Chains A and B, each alone.
Chain A
Amino acid sequence: MVGRRWWTPWLWLAPSLALLGVFLVYPVVDTLRRSFLDRRSQSFVGFDNYKFIIDNPQPLVSDTHSALLNNVMWLTLFTAVTVSLGLILAVLAGRVRYEAVAKSAIFIPMAISFVAASVIWRFMYEYNVHIGTVNAVVTELGGHPTAWLQNTGAPQTPFTDLGPSTAPQPIQVNNFALILSGVWIWTGFAMVVLSAGLKGISNEVLEAARVDGANEWQIFWRIIVPILSPTIVVVATTLVIQALKKFDLVWVMTGGRFKTDVVATLFYKEAFVIGDFGVGAALAVVLLLWVLPIMLISIRRFQFQEETR
């Protein structure tokens, strides 16, 4: 429009810019500042709060090492399992006539809040074999019930009689159980996105491969996976962001007890339960540092989109 004044666009942007300034931009700067101040944000302490995270001086109150390790497990296991399951389901569901029903059944958990899902899985993991479905199945098959959400030992089959080991493990049973509940929620997401990508692969390519004598296994690994790889990257990126910031599932199911804390729950404890804004802010900065590479990638992708528009 010709007659627009120079400030007209800014008038349209003003409400958004004001809200983003107050609730996102200023807080990010302020949290960065507080991460170098003491627990009441009064005096400068340098890198002490970050040293606290690295040195882990109070493992009984807030075990930073365990939280970091658990988050890494979330990042790797949760992402890998969810993407693989989503891909398998997308391929399988595309081959049956009841595809829509099958997809709905898998996607429904996405509609459920993490809080409700936590109740669902607490109920599934209940120790009492007359209540907890998982333990009922395990005992029915001849195994021993496990306290899925309390057991900090390494995973072993419920059918061996070794008893839980008490030493801290890279993969704790309870952290693993929490991660599986996350997989249950997010597989539907991975499946739907990958299935949309799959529909984009032309049938001629697949038919040509079949005519040339490729079996379904080869078609999956040599054609479907390479063509879908950009979509797989998008799905994995999304899941990584989710894994890094995981809070609700852990908080409602275990409250971070039994060494299940992740960085986001430890942040909440430090900042709002213990009341140490310094360490809390530093933990939030750790979360930000984690998503920073992803932020840069999405900006690059956007610039690329604009140039090719």
Chain B
Amino acid sequence: MAKRNPSTAAVAAAPRALRLTEGLKWIAARGPLHLSILALMVLWSVPTLALLVSSFRDPSAIASSGWWNVIKEPFDFTVQNYRSVLEKQGMARAFFNSLIITVPSTTLVILVAAWAAYAFAWMRFPARNLVFLLMVALLVVPLQMTLIPVLRLYSNLTVNAEVPILGGRIFGTSSFVGIWVAHTAYGLPFAVYLLRNFFGSLPRDLFESAYLDGASDLRVFFRIVLPLSMPAIAALAIFQFLWVWNDLLVALILLGDPSLAPMTLKINNLVSSFGTNYQVLTSAAFISMALPLVIFFALQRYFVQGLLAGAVKG
């Protein structure tokens, strides 16, 4: 707008009527645009807002009056729902289970995929492109194709001894190790694909001079490739973290033991047993959303990049 006005002095001197018609013109031209964007923003935010507001309301208030009534009684909030869902419904345990499942799965997939991506990007060997193509093809294989055999395999390999610290079995169904390995494998095709493309785009000269100086592959990998690839690794880490954190299907099938259930599985069970007890459901859902939302606001750029790159994943 500033460009159209020659100077502020001229605007100040302009007759009132002229400024008013200009204002009206602006509203007629730009008003519908702003109104439609604001309307969509509100429409998209209301569902999340409804959940957040309700989770802090008294159970009797949730059941008898809509969440929008908080405008009338603005400070009538309670954290009682959170306390009861964390303690009585075991959401606190489920939160830690989610962390125990997610952090190692994310770390493992980055390590294993980075090794493979380095070989694909900077080593020459027969069938290199063919093997890589097969991996790309696995990217969109629906997980459902793998679940029956993997469950059969896990039932056969289940080691019934328990791990004292984690409280799960050593391997197989209802074991954290089992679900770590499964999530790592499922995350690999996308991770290798993303990292290989990034490693391949690093300048060739860097590698040639390092090899000429007699640097070993391990040295080049740890000293050059990994430090230079941090943006890609960050995007991948966020994507994999969210994928595992938000996964229901794999946990539903490979983690039979309720004491090991991550939050998604816990909420799924709460929905089937509590149906419309929204004081339980809203606070539980918000606990599971909190960490991803913090990551979203803190690392928005990597977050968006990671999600965009990985959206085709099976």
Instruction: Enumerate chain A interface residues (CB-CB to B < 8 A).
Output: 1-2, 4, 6, 8-10, 12-13, 15-17, 19-20, 22-28, 30-31, 34, 89, 92-93, 95-96, 101-102, 104-116, 118-124, 126, 128-131, 133, 136, 184, 187-189, 192-193, 237-238, 241-242, 244-245, 247-248, 251-252, 255, 264, 267-268, 271-272, 277, 280-281, 283-285, 287-288, 291, 294-295, 298-299, 302-303, 306
Assembly CA distance A238 to B311 (angstroms): 6
In the complex, what's the smallest C-beta–C-beta distance from B194 to chain A, in angstroms? 13
- Structural contact, B37 and A291, CB atoms closer than 8 A: no
A108-B62 in contact given A245-B314, A302-B133 (Cβ < 8 Å)? no
Assembly CA distance A291 to B312 (angstroms): 11
A108-B293 in contact given A8-B123, A28-B146, A277-B148 (Cβ < 8 Å)? yes
Interface hit among B15-23, B43-51, B164-172: B43-51
Question: Which residue from A28, A120, A303 sits with its C-beta under 8 Å from B51?
Answer: A120
- Structural contact, A9 and B123, CB atoms closer than 8 A: yes
Q: Which of A19, A128, A193 has the most CB of B within 10 A?
A: A19
Residues of B within 8 A of A110 (CB): 307
Interface class of chain A by DSSP? helix
- Structural contact, A291 and B137, CB atoms closer than 8 A: no
Q: Chain B 185-200 against A: per-residue CB contact (8 Å), 1 yes, 0 no?
A: 1101100100000000
Of all chain A residues, which has the CB nearest B308?
A193
In the complex, what's the smallest C-beta–C-beta distance from B106 to chain A, in angstroms? 15
Assembly CA distance A247 to B264 (angstroms): 13
Decide yes or no whether B105 CB sits under 8 A from chain A.
Answer: no
Q: Chain B 266-302 against A: per-residue CB contact (8 Å), 1 yes, 0 no?
A: 0110011000101001101110110011011000100
Assembly CA distance A280 to B148 (angstroms): 8
A4-B123 in contact given A271-B147, A288-B145 (Cβ < 8 Å)? yes
Of all chain B residues, which has the CB nearest A247?
B249
- Structural contact, B37 and A92, CB atoms closer than 8 A: yes
- Structural contact, A13 and B138, CB atoms closer than 8 A: no
Residues of A within 8 A of B159 (CB): none
- Structural contact, A130 and B145, CB atoms closer than 8 A: no
Residues of B within 8 A of A187 (CB): 44
In the complex, what's the smallest C-beta–C-beta distance from B82 to chain A, in angstroms? 15
A122-B146 in contact given A109-B44, A133-B68, A252-B248 (Cβ < 8 Å)? no
Decide yes or no whether B240 CB sits under 8 A from chain A.
Answer: no
Assembly CA distance A121 to B271 (angstroms): 12
Assembly CA distance A121 to B48 (angstroms): 9
Assembly CA distance A242 to B311 (angstroms): 8
- Structural contact, A299 and B133, CB atoms closer than 8 A: yes
